Amino acid sequence: MRRAVALALVSLLVAPIVASVLWTVDERAGIAIAGATIALVAVLLVARLRTIVRGRVFGGEGAPGSESGEGDEGDGWSLVPDWQYEGRFAEAGGITRSEQEQALREIDERAEREQNRTRE
């Protein structure tokens, strides 16, 4: 989805310039480029809204209450590699984030050991 947003932003920046140049050559071409840009942005906006609504209504992946962090675009930490938590991003909460993830890994390991113990 981030690529789609980037495409929409680039279209909004470049298309008016292209449309104005084409407008001087052929008025219809300028109108076509402007219309295509508006249509592209509208389609991307509707797709984004549909994804948000589907996630909230049906509890899909990336929904605010979902357990997986894969689709959570609002989480800035998804952009930061784990190994930079305690370095570059320490003052921005990276140390806390690192501690939380370590605790989650330990809980997962304990749960796996318990499952293995109960299987035996």
pLDDT of residue 68: 46
Here the tokens at position 89 are 């991003």
Domain parsing of the chain, residue ranges = 1-66, 77-120
**HEC secondary structure over the chain:** CHHHHHHHHHHHHHHHHHHHHHHHHCHHHHHHHHHHHHHHHHHHHHHHHHHHHHHHHHCCCCCCCCCCCCCCCCCHHHHCCHHHCCCCCHHHHHHHHHHHHHHHHHHHHHHHHHHHHHHC
Cα dihedral 58/59/61/65 (nearest 10): 160
pLDDT of residue 112: 92
In terms of pTM, does the model score above 0.85?
Answer: no
pLDDT digits (tens, 9 = 90+) for 11-57: 778 888 887 887 788 888 878 888 888 888 888 888 878 877 776 66
Give the pLDDT score at 109.
Answer: 93
Looking at residue 1, what is its pLDDT?
62
Residues 65-116 have pLDDT tens digits of: 444 444 445 566 677 777 777 777 777 788 888 888 889 999 999 999 999 8
